[in-house]
Structures are given as structure tokens and as C-alpha cells.
């Protein structure tokens, strides 16, 4: 039990005890004791205590200089009802045929400014802010802190980050943000900001370029993000996401885009969090798909109660378009007839379905239904964010399958984490330390350690190629799990100091690519 949970339980016990010793009104916590069970009262108290103790994430309000690309002769069109800040235009310029408006605004206004204007790109040319003072402990675990002591901090290296969205004004990253593109942003920006904070912790003086693509990304949007990052001077591109609603093989546009970028840019991505949360198989003769034997129900969390967010993605053969159609259902097990709590039944021709919902505590299972009377040999793949009772080995998602990328898994205490998917090249911790933002662990937060370590290698060796960086990281990784290269941990856990020293030693000329490397 965490310290926060212990504190909440302690407060609840104290409140329940004092209710018998002293008359106490619960009106301030809006609890109706006459209509709620004791369990409801405790849950309500937890919710109210958490809500009253919530503090919004900090922001940086210092003024920064910005450059905004515009159409010829245009001026950013600010909709005042959506933006209450101020943008002072200083001058205009033209570079490589692109016109820019230069000016200044508060760092905390950058994100709302883009949301309220027709502009969707902004280049931050001068910042004078400081971080939040917290450093993720994984920095020392990969030995990056020793390089900081030598004065190697990622200076003159640019790291481009693709995520759903960001909070550029968060003090953990604001000082290093050099640009922000809103291609199709959505979400609260917590995930992207946490990823960026680990890059900054690992390579404190690297410049960040942030590309927000939202939680559902088309191949066109993805290409736009990658191209913008490359035009912005990214030496490294990191995408900590896994795109289950895209094929993982050579038919995937995302895979081709990542492979193209990896030829001249270090490209780092997450291997995914679906180990134990993946199933693959074929439809039998029945309309409802059998997961194992005759079982047409696949319980989540091995049939034990769960609550919170449930995410499910189903994909099948037939990319990019198919007439085959399958529906995805989430049931809640209960006395009598089980209830459908969510379903994904739309079909636009692409062979996938996705659902996401929030559920109260209960037992839940997944079922898949075919819309066709004809039995096919389609391979079905199911990805979940909770463990499945019936599961399969393997399962990969773009862009981790692309040739030339570095696919990263998660490790803790020299053991690969149970959720870390197979197919990793290397592993790293998934530890995050950032004010005002709480995130779950996952390979998303192992990935930025590898990107940061890559920045340190490039800072020490500015002429190193992407292959040079991969070789240095792979051949100096510390072997974990099974001896040698394996599909759980790849080459092992990265060691930033050893990677830099390898590139600085005479041994770098003896081998240009890791042995038996598949990426």
C-alpha cells in the first residue's frame, strides 16, 4: 500500500472513529448516510478527499520568444473567446520560402494559443526557465548521471517526441522546448509531458521538439509529424506509443514511415505493454469466436474483480480494406444474464475494432462475434490493457516492428516487467518523477531513457550515424534474463556511460552493426 493510500485509509478510520465520539456532520463531503451503504460512504470519502487535495500541475509563466509559420501576408487569427492571453508581434521573416511572424508570449500561453488560432506550429526561440528540480531515479540506474558529472548533458542535440499531446509550459520541460506542433492533439497532455520529462532528466540540455498527434492517428498525420520533426532538426525521434489499430507488418504505412525516418535519424519506440494481454487465433464454425476449446468468453484480470479504464483493440487479416467484419463486446458477469457494458460494432472497411470505457468494480470478459456466415482463415488479434485468461505469446505493434528502430522494453530490479511485450532490442527502467502528474508504469517511460542516452552518445560523437548509436547501445547493454540476446530483454539494459565510452574508444572501428541484429 502506498503512503497516499495509507494516509487516505487513516483519515477514513479517524473520521469513522470521531463520528461515534463527537457529533460530526458529513455535509461538507456531500455524503448521504441514509441512502448509501458503508462501502459507498468510504468510496465517497476517498473520492472527496482526493478531490480536495488535488493540485493542478504547475506551469511556467515567463515570457518566451516565438516564431509562427504563416501563409504569405497573413496574420495569426486569434479567436478571443478561446484565448485570453496576449501575443506581441515584433517582426516578420522568410526562411526557405516560409514566412514567419516573430513575437513574444507567456510560456503558459503557447498551448492555448495554438488551440485558438489557425496556426498549428510554433517555434520557441528563447527560453529562460528552470526545471522542477526532480530527477527520475532511472537516470542513475542507466549510469547517465556519471556522464552529467563529466559535463555531458546532450547539448546541441535535438530530440523530437511524438505523443497525443503535451503541456509545454510544465516547468519540468519548458526550458528545453524548442518547438510545438499540434497536428491532431487530444487528451490532457500528461503522458507526453511525462515522457518528455524523462528525456530532459537523462539529457538535460537537449532541445525538445514536440509533435501532438492525438490518441487516434492516421498514417497521414503520422507522416506529417515525422516530417515536421525532421525539418525541425531532430537528431532523434521518440514515439513511446503502440498503434494496435494498424498492421504490424510491411503493409503498415506507419512501419514504412518509421523505417524511412530511421535511415537517417535515431528512432526509438516502445515495444508495448501487452505481454499477458494479447490473444491470437482463428474463428471456428460458430458465430462467436472460441478463445480456447469451447470457451467464447475471455475473462479480464483472470476473472478477478477490476475497475477503471478498459481498453480493447481487435484486428484481423485484410489490410488495408476488407469486407470481413467482427464485433467486439465487453460483458460484466453477474447473476442471471450478463450485461453488455461496451461494444465496438462499427465497420468502415478497415479490419479493426477498438473500444475504451470506464467500469465500476466487477468481473468482466471479452467476446468476439463474426458478422459473416462464411468461416474464413482470418487471424484475429486481441490486445487489452488488463491480463487475459486465454492469451498467446508474441503480438507486436507498429512502429516497433520497423527495421532500424530501437524497440524498448521495461525492467525492474534486473527482471523484465510482466507486461513488457516481446521483441525488445534493449530494456530500461520506467521510472518517472514530475510534479503534478501521476502516470502508470509502462514501456512508454522506458523509451525516453533510451532516447536520452542516445542524445548523450550523439553529444559526445556529433558525427555518429543512427547505426553507430544503435551499435553502441546494443553492444554495451548489461545482459539480463536469459544469457545472451533474447526476445524479452534483447541485448539487455542500456548503460549510457558504457555506450559513450564505446564510441570514444578504438573498439568502435572493429564492428559497425550488432551481431544477429534484426532491426
Beta bridge partners of 123: 67, 179
Between CA 465 and CA 461 the distance in angstroms is: 9
Dihedral of CA 247/250/251/252: which sign? positive
Between CA 161 and CA 166 the distance in angstroms is: 10
170 tagged catalytic: no
| Residue tagged active-site, from 232, 444, 446, 460 | 444
Contact assessment for residue 454 and residue 470, using Cβ atoms and an 8 Å cutoff = no
Q: What is the DSSP string of 352-397?
A: EEEEEEEEEEEEEEEEEEES-SS---PEEEEEESS-BSS--S----
Between CA 180 and CA 317 the distance in angstroms is: 36
163 tagged catalytic: yes
Between CA 133 and CA 372 the distance in angstroms is: 58
Between CA 95 and CA 79 the distance in angstroms is: 27
| Residue tagged active-site, from 108, 109, 143, 163 | 163
Between CA 371 and CA 324 the distance in angstroms is: 8
C-alpha cell at 268: 526509438
| Residue tagged active-site, from 148, 191, 246, 274 | 191
What is the end-to-end Cα distance of the chain in Å, rounded? 40
Q: Which of 353, 422, 354, 427 is nearest to 392 (CA)?
A: 422
Q: Which residues are catalytic?
A: 163, 191, 444
Amino acid at each position: 500500500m502506498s503512503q497516499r493510500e495509507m494516509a487516505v485509509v487513516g483519515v477514513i478510520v479517524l473520521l469513522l472513529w470521531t463520528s461515534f465520539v463527537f457529533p460530526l456532520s458529513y455535509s461538507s463531503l456531500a455524503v448521504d448516510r441514509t441512502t448509501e451503504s458503508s462501502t459507498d460512504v468510504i468510496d465517497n470519502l476517498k473520492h472527496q478527499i482526493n478531490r480536495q487535495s488535488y493540485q493542478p500541475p504547475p506551469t511556467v509563466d515567463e515570457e518566451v520568444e516565438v516564431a509562427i509559420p504563416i501563409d504569405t501576408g497573413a496574420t495569426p487569427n486569434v479567436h478571443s473567446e478561446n484565448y485570453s492571453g496576449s501575443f506581441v508581434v515584433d517582426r516578420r521573416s522568410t526562411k526557405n520560402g516560409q514566412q514567419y511572424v516573430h513575437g513574444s508570449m507567456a510560456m503558459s500561453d503557447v498551448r492555448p494559443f495554438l488551440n485558438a488560432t489557425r496556426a498549428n506550429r510554433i517555434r520557441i526561440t528563447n527560453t529562460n526557465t528552470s526545471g522542477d528540480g526532480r530527477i527520475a531515479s532511472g537516470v542513475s540506474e542507466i549510469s547517465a548521471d556519471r556522464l552529467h558529472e563529466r559535463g555531458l548533458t546532450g547539448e546541441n542535440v535535438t530530440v523530437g517526441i511524438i505523443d497525443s499531446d503535451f503541456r509545454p509550459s510544465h516547468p519540468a520541460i519548458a526550458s528545453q522546448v524548442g518547438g510545438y506542433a499540434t497536428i491532431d492533439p487530444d487528451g490532457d497532455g500528461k503522458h507526453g509531458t511525462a515522457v518528455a520529462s524523462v528525456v530532459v532528466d537523462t539529457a538535460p540540455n537537449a532541445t525538445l521538439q514536440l509533435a501532438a498527434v492525438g490518441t487516434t492517428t492516421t498514417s497521414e498525420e503520422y507522416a506529417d509529424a515525422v516530417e515536421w520533426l525532421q525539418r525541425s532538426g531532430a537528431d532523434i525521434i521518440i514515439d513511446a506509443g503502440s498503434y494496435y489499430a494498424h498492421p504490424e507488418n510491411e503493409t503498415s504505412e506507419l512501419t514504412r514511415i518509421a523505417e524511412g525516418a530511421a535511415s537517417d535519424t535515431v528512432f526509438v519506440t516502445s515495444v508495448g505493454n501487452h505481454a499477458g494481454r494479447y490473444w491470437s487465433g482463428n474463428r471456428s464454425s460458430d458465430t462467436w469466436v472460441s478463445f480456447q476449446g469451447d470457451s467464447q468468453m475471455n475473462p479480464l484480470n483472470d476473472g478477478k474483480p477490476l475497475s477503471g479504464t478498459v481498453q480493447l483493440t481487435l484486428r484481423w487479416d485484410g489490410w488495408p480494406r476488407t469486407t470481413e467484419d467482427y464485433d467486439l463486446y465487453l460483458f460484466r458477469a453477474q447473476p442471471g444474464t450478463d450485461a453488455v457494458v461496451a461494444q465496438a460494432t462499427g465497420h468502415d472497411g478497415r479490419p479493426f475494432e477498438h473500444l475504451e470505457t470506464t467500469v465500476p468494480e466487477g468481473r468482466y470478459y471479452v467476446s468476439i462475434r463474426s458478422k459473416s456466415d462464411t468461416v474464413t482463415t482470418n487471424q484475429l488479434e486481441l490486445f487489452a490493457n488488463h491480463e487475459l485468461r486465454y492469451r498467446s505469446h508474441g503480438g507486436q505493434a507498429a512502429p516497433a516492428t520497423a527495421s532500424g528502430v530501437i524497440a524498448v522494453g521495461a525492467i525492474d530490479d534486473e527482471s523484465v516487467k510482466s507486461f513488457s511485450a516481446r521483441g525488445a532490442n534493449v530494456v530500461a527502467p520506467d521510472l518517472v518523477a514530475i510534479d503534478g502528474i501521476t502516470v502508470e508504469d509502462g514501456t512508454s517511460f522506458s523509451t525516453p531513457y533510451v532516447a536520452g542516452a542516445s542524445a548523450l552518445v550523439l553529444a559526445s560523437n556529433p558525427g555518429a550515424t543512427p547505426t553507430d548509436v544503435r551499435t553502441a547501445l546494443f553492444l554495451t547493454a548489461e545482459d539480463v534474463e536469459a544469457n545472451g540476446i533474447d526476445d524479452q530483454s534483447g541485448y539487455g539494459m542500456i548503460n549510457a556511460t558504457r555506450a559513450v565510452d564505446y564510441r570514444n574508444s578504438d573498439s568502435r572501428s572493429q564492428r559497425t552493426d550488432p551481431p544477429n541484429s534484426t532491426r
